[in-house]
Amino acid sequence: MRAVVQRSGPAKCQVDGKITGQINAGLVVFISVDPEDTLDDVEWMGNKIAGLRIFSDEDGKMNLSLLDLVNEKEEGSEIGVLSISQFTLHGNARKGFRPSFVGAAPPEKALEFYTSFNDDLRNRGLIVEEGIFGATMDISLVNEGPVTILIDSKHKF
């Protein structure tokens, strides 16, 4: 699995002008599934993202995870994950100018693993909002920091 994780203020996903998912703050995660991924990759990715320490503590150091914030949150300050399936993260543009997407899992597997990934995050106690798998989506977000992290379960970065 491959992910682009962005620390975010308000974020939302719209399809055909209708909001399908939104958060007040937290993480926007663009996620792509590799054909060779297993459920171990789903669990590894869920653990990594839930525990990623990219939020500031009281000293201004990036030392808190989304789980830390959820456990400390005030009533009414909804924070969570906006999860967006994005097969183009497995695009390969090494040759020519038109990317190849043969490195992405077929849609059936990608949907299954995207759903499992979102369920994994929910099982860890996080609120997860979603885009619509396979749809053309309009994503709006406020990237705070900016903080953007690349994560890959095969290469362990």
- Dmax (CA) of the chain: 52
The structure's pTM equals 0.94
* Amino acid at residue number 78: E
Q: Show the domains of the chain with their CATH numbers.
A: 2-152 (3.50.80.10)
Q: Which residues are catalytic?
A: 86-88
Half-sphere exposure of 151 (CA within 13 A, CB side): 24
pLDDT by residue for the chain (157 residues), tens digit each?
Answer: 999 999 999 999 999 999 999 999 999 999 999 999 999 999 999 999 999 999 999 999 999 999 999 877 655 567 999 999 999 999 999 999 999 999 999 999 999 999 999 999 999 999 999 999 999 999 999 999 999 999 999 988 7
